[in-house]
Structures are given as C-alpha cells and as structure tokens.
Amino acid sequence: MEKKTVLSGIQPSGILTLGNYVGALRNWSLLQQDDRFCYYCVANLHAITVKQDAEALNRRTLEAAALLLACGIDPKRSALFIQSHVKEHTELAWVLNCGTYIGELNRMTQFKDKSQRHADNINAGLFTYPVLMAADILLYQASYIPVGKDQKQHVELARDIAIRFNKNYGDAFIVPEPIIPKLGGKIMSLTDPTKKMSKSDPNPNSYIAITDEPSVILKKFKRAVTDSEGIIAYDPERPGVTNLLSIYCTFTGKTPEEAVAEFAGQGYGKLKTAVADAVIAELEPIQNEYKRLLDEKTYLKSVLDDGAAQARSTARKTVDDVLRRVGLDATVM
Ligand code: TRP
C-alpha cells in the first residue's frame, strides 16, 4: 500500500492553549492512520522570526516535543522531530526563496499582522517565513497539511510554489492540500468571546493552557464571560454561551442539539462546570504523561534522534533531486 504523507509543525513560542489542542495537537494524533505516515515537527527555526531568549527557546522546544508525545503522537506511526535538527529545511528554503515573488509574500496576512505587532523587528526572516514553511511541507512530499484557518494562506502559497517549480523543472514535488478542522478554529476567549482564544492575550483568564491544573481550568470556566439572559442556545448574539456549548460538544462528541437539550432551563453555572469536567477529563491524563516524559530525558532524546534521522532520509532525497534539477549538483563528470 502506497502511504500518503501528512505533515505539520508547531512553533515552540510560549504557552499552548485549548485552541492549539483542538485545532492542532488533537487532530495530529487522530490523523495517524494505517494508510498514512506523518511527519510532525517543532518549528523552532520559525520561532526566531520574533525575538527569543536562547535558553527559553531550547526549553520550550523540548517541552513542545514532550507535549506532542503526551497528546498521542506515536513514534511508530510518525516521525516527531525538531526542525533545526534537519538541515535540509534551510537548504531547500533557499532554492524556494528564489522561486517566490515578493508580491506573493507581501500578500500574506500573517506577515502584515506580525509586522504591526513587532514593528521594531521587521526582519527578512519574518517576510520569508512562508517560504521556510513551504520547504517544511515540500521536503516530505506531503499530501495533507493539518493546520488552523490562520495558516491556510501559507499552505496555498506552498502549493503555488510547488506548482511553479514542477512546471519549470519537472515534477519534483507533490502538491499539498490543507486539512482545516471544522470545530477547532472556533475556540474563543473566555473573557471576550468575540475574540479568538490566544496565548498572547495578557489576561490568563482568557485562555486555558493545555498544562493548566484542573483546579485552574475549573476556575477559569466558572469566570467565563456569558450574558445576563440565562438562555442556553447556540446564538451568535450570545457568543459566550455559544463558545461554552461548542467546547462542550468538542470534548464530549455530543451534537449542538444534544447539548442544548441537556442544559435547557438550567443556569449557566451547570454548563460551566460540565464544560470544565469534560475538558479536565481529556487533559488530565495528557498532563500526567507530559510530566512523566519531561523526566524521561533518555527516552525523549531517542525519540527525537530517531525522528530526525527518519525525516532527514526523506528530506535528503528531495533536496538532492531539486539540486540536480536546478543545476546545483555540479558533479565533475
Ligand atoms: N507556521 C505554523 C504556525 O505558526 C507552524 C508551521 C511551521 C507549520 N511549519 C509548518 C504548519 C508546516 C504546517 C506545516 O502555526
């Protein structure tokens, strides 16, 4: 059986939230199926497009890897690796940079956002970040790229880069497709449910971190902003309750109708506690496993070494082929 390849990456920049869990980590683990092989990387090269403290970056990179394992990434079905351990990423990125137009990069909405937020550090890496991401994807001949909605534009650029390269140099790359979760993108802030839940929100009550203690999770849900109407309904006019209901459905597998029926006529307190319970039931075992793995240094190192070796062997084949097609192998005959 010819297996299709899945690839995704996560940046090790700070706290990972319930939004990251539902939108990314949880799906990554579900995508590990018999007819696929997955490559999952901790995208630390991407992280330095904004200022990082070296020690903290190293620590968070390894923590992100441990968290991925705790969320169910299985080293037998997936290559789990650190992006900077596989030099082919930067090597291919250069070639792809020369096949990407400034006009295309100028259209990237994330670049526009980030250059506003980091106005004192609009570096060239921030600008060419989507090309590095295209290299991540194309190196492994990945067909499916699970990402949040915010990354869709980057995957589309990777497709355009692949199509153009294939046209100019012959079929070197599989043209990838994004896989966007229907529910995941929709987890909203608990303090302002009209905004997306975000780890960069200065108010920690606005988000649930994957590593928040159960008592903290309960407290944050209890404080979640709702409204004064006391009506349990999916209603865009009542974003707070709607957000709680949709988190509840995501974590229990119930349909919106079932959830509404279950809490109809009850106060928001019941719903809040039930949401917290459902989230804790899923996150607590992950948190325990995460803590255990952080102490299993030898195991973690062996998983990451194996993952990088496996990634490298696939990536090398692609880069060698690309160099040959472009006329960069320069072998003396
Ligand atoms: N840019 C992605 C993000 O910030 C992370 C990422 C890096 C990625 N390389 C990737 C996602 C390759 C998918 C495929 O979320």
Residues lining ligand 1, judged by CB closer than 6 Å?
Answer: 7-11, 43, 46, 133, 136-137, 145, 147, 151
Residue 198 pLDDT class (50, 70, 90 cuts): confident
Atom of ligand 1 nearest to the CA of 24: 15
Nearest to 155 by CA among 172, 176, 135: 176
What is the pLDDT, as a whole number, of residue 185? 53
- pLDDT at 7 > cutoff 70: yes
User: What residue spans of 34-123 are helical by DSSP H?
Assistant: 44-47, 54-70, 88-97, 102-106, 109-117
**pLDDT tens across 310-319, in order?**
999 999 999 9
* Dist. CA 214 → ligand 1 center (Å): 29
* Dist. CA 145 → ligand 1 center (Å): 9
What is the pLDDT, as a whole number, of residue 2? 84
What is the pLDDT, as a whole number, of residue 186? 75
What is the pLDDT of the chain when averaged over all its residues? Answer: 95
State yes or no: is 297 an active-site residue: no
**Residue in 143, 151, 174 to alter for ligand 1 test, most ligand atoms within 8 A of Cβ:** 151
The token pair that represents 22 in the structure block: 């539902």
Percent of the residues in the chain that have a pLDDT greater than 70, as a whole number? 99
What is the pLDDT, as a whole number, of residue 143? 98
State yes or no: is 195 an active-site residue: no
Q: Which residue CA neighbors atom 14 of ligand 1 most closely?
A: 8
Q: Which residue CA neighbors atom 11 of ligand 1 most closely?
A: 9
* Dist. CA 207 → ligand 1 center (Å): 21
What average pLDDT score do residues 23-39 get? 93
Q: Which residue CA neighbors atom 6 of ligand 1 most closely?
A: 9
State yes or no: is 317 an active-site residue: no
Angle at 182 between CA 36 and CA 81, to 5 degrees: 40
* Dist. CA 133 → ligand 1 center (Å): 6
What average pLDDT score do residues 184-193 get? 84
Greater confidence, 185 or 224? Answer: 224
**pLDDT tens across 65-107, in order?**
999 999 999 999 999 999 999 999 999 999 999 999 999 999 9
**pLDDT tens across 274-284, in order?**
999 999 999 99
What is the pLDDT, as a whole number, of residue 183? 60
**Residue in 8, 44, 78, 153 to alter for ligand 1 test, most ligand atoms within 8 A of Cβ:** 8
Given the residues 149, 199, 222, 254, the one annotated as active site: 199
Percent of the residues in the chain that have a pLDDT greater than 90, as a whole number? 87
Q: Which residue CA neighbors atom 13 of ligand 1 most closely?
A: 8
**pLDDT tens across 144-154, in order?**
999 988 899 99
Q: What is the β-pairing status of strands 36-42 and 177-179?
A: unpaired
Q: Which residue CA neighbors atom 8 of ligand 1 most closely?
A: 9
> Which region, left, alpha or beta, applies to residue 58 given φ > 0 means left and ψ of -120 to 50 means alpha?
alpha
Residue 323 burial by CB count (10 A; 0-12/13-18/19+): exposed, middle or buried? middle
What is the pLDDT, as a whole number, of residue 108? 97
Neighbours of 75 (CB within 10 A): 15
What average pLDDT score do residues 150-176 get? 97
Residue 44 pLDDT class (50, 70, 90 cuts): very high
**Residue in 10, 41, 44 to alter for ligand 1 test, most ligand atoms within 8 A of Cβ:** 10
Atom of ligand 1 nearest to the CA of 150: 15
